[in-house]
Amino acid sequence: MALLVQKYGGTSVGTIERIEAVAEKIIGYKEQGNDMVVVVSAMSGETNRLTDLARQINPKVRGRELDVLLTTGEQVTIALLAIALEKRGFHARSYTGGQVKILTDNAHNKARILSIDAGNIDKDLKKGRIVVVAGFQGVDEHGNITTLGRGGSDTTGVALAAALKADECQIFTDVDGVYTTDPRVVAEARRLDQITFEEMLEMASLGSKVLQIRAVEFAGKYDVPLRVLSSFEEGQGTLITSESNEEDTVEQAVISGIAFNRDEAQLTINGVPDTPGVAFQILGPISDANIEVDMILQNIGGDGTTDFTFTVHRNDFETALTKLQETSEKLGARVCSGNNKIVKLSIVGVGMRSHAGIASRMFEILAKEGINILMISTSEIKISVVVDEKYLELGVRALHDGFDLAEYDEEAAE
Ligand code: ADP
Ligand code: ASP
Ligand code: MG
- The answer to whether 124 and 131 have CB atoms below 8 angstroms apart is yes
Based on the fold, state whether residues 217 and 118 are members of the same structural domain. Answer: yes
Contacts of 355 (CB under 8 A, 6+ apart): 254
Based on the fold, state whether residues 153 and 10 are members of the same structural domain. Answer: yes
Please tell me the residue having the least CA distance from ligand 1 atom 3. Answer: 9
Does residue 19 fall inside a structural domain? yes
Q: What tens-digit pLDDT sequence spans the chain (414 residues)?
A: 899 999 999 999 999 999 999 999 999 999 999 999 999 999 999 999 999 999 999 998 999 999 999 999 999 999 999 999 999 999 999 999 999 999 999 999 999 999 999 999 999 999 999 999 999 999 999 999 999 999 999 999 999 999 999 999 999 999 999 999 999 999 999 999 999 999 999 999 999 999 999 999 999 999 999 999 999 999 999 999 987 655 554 446 789 999 999 999 999 999 998 888 999 999 999 999 989 999 999 887 778 899 999 999 999 999 999 999 999 999 888 889 999 999 999 999 988 888 889 999 999 999 999 999 999 999 999 999 999 999 999 999 999 999 999 866 555 555
DSSP 112-125: -EEEE--HHHHHHH
Based on the fold, state whether residues 281 and 335 are members of the same structural domain. Answer: yes
Does residue 388 fall inside a structural domain? yes
Based on the fold, state whether residues 279 and 141 are members of the same structural domain. Answer: no
Global pTM value: 0.92
- Print the domain residue range for 206: 3-251
Based on the fold, state whether residues 69 and 148 are members of the same structural domain. Answer: yes
From 113, 150, 154, mutation site for ligand 2 pocket: most ligand atoms within 8 A of C-beta: 150
Does residue 410 fall inside a structural domain? no
Please tell me the residue having the least CA distance from ligand 1 atom 21. Answer: 182
Task: Please state the length of the chain.
Answer: 414
Res 250: pLDDT: 47
Please tell me the residue having the least CA distance from ligand 2 atom 4. Answer: 47
Res 100: pLDDT: 97
Distance from the alpha carbon of residue 251 to the mean position of ligand 2, in angstroms? 30
Based on the fold, state whether residues 269 and 358 are members of the same structural domain. Answer: yes
Res 414: pLDDT: 52
Based on the fold, state whether residues 236 and 135 are members of the same structural domain. Answer: yes
pLDDT tens-digit readout, 217-239:
999 999 999 999 999 999 999 99
- Residue list, ligand 1 pocket, CB within 6 Å: 9-12, 41, 151, 173-175, 178-179, 181-184, 208-210, 257
Does residue 318 fall inside a structural domain? yes
Ligand nearest to the CA of 136: 2
Q: Is the CB of 136 under 6 A from ligand 2?
A: yes
Q: Is the CB of 47 under 6 A from ligand 2?
A: yes
Does residue 412 fall inside a structural domain? no
Please tell me the residue having the least CA distance from ligand 2 atom 8. Answer: 151
Q: How far is CA 409 from CA 188, 247, 404, 412, in A?
A: 10, 21, 12, 5
Question: If phi over 0 gives left and psi between -120 and 50 gives alpha, with beta otherwise, what is residue 268?
Answer: beta
Contacts of 318 (CB under 8 A, 6+ apart): none
Domain boundary among 251, 273, 300: 251
Based on the fold, state whether residues 75 and 188 are members of the same structural domain. Answer: yes
Distance from the alpha carbon of residue 146 to the mean position of ligand 2, in angstroms? 13
Based on the fold, state whether residues 189 and 297 are members of the same structural domain. Answer: no
Distance from the alpha carbon of residue 175 to the mean position of ligand 3, in angstroms? 11
Domain boundary among 228, 251, 274: 251
Q: How far apart are CA 87 and CA 170, in angstroms?
A: 24
Ligand nearest to the CA of 151: 2
In terms of Cβ atoms closer than 10 Å to its own Cβ (0-12, 13-18, 19+), residue 44 is middle
Q: Is the CB of 41 under 6 A from ligand 2?
A: yes
Distance from the alpha carbon of residue 228 to the mean position of ligand 3, in angstroms? 11
Q: Is the CB of 135 under 6 A from ligand 2?
A: yes
- The answer to whether 133 and 100 have CB atoms below 8 angstroms apart is yes
Domain with residue 45: its CATH number is 3.40.1160.10
Based on the fold, state whether residues 294 and 239 are members of the same structural domain. Answer: no
Does residue 411 fall inside a structural domain? no
Based on the fold, state whether residues 73 and 142 are members of the same structural domain. Answer: yes
Based on the fold, state whether residues 200 and 180 are members of the same structural domain. Answer: yes
Domain boundary among 251, 280, 312: 251
Ligand nearest to the CA of 258: 1
Does residue 380 fall inside a structural domain? yes
Domain with residue 350: its CATH number is 3.30.2130.10
Does residue 407 fall inside a structural domain? no
Q: Which atom of ligand 1 is nearest to the CA of 12?
A: 3
Res 249: pLDDT: 46
Total domains present in the chain: 2
Residue 302 exposure: Cα atoms within 13 Å on the Cβ side = 4
